[in-house]
Structure 1
Amino acid sequence: MKLIVQIIFTGFLIIGSLIALIKDFKKITDEQKKQPIMLIFELFSVMGLILFIIGVVIFDNLLLGNIAIILVIIGIVFDSIKYWKSNSNLRKIRALGLALFILFFYFFFYH
Structure 2
Amino acid sequence: MSLIQACVTATTTMLAVLIGGWLTVRAQDRLWRRDQDRQWRDIRLSAYTDFIGAVREYVAHVLHPAARITAVPRPRGRASIRRRGPGRARPALRVRAVTGHRP
* TM-score relative to the length of structure 2: 0.31
Q: Which has the higher helix share?
A: 1
Q: Which has the higher strand share?
A: 2
**Rg: which structure is higher?**
2
* TM-score relative to the length of structure 1: 0.29
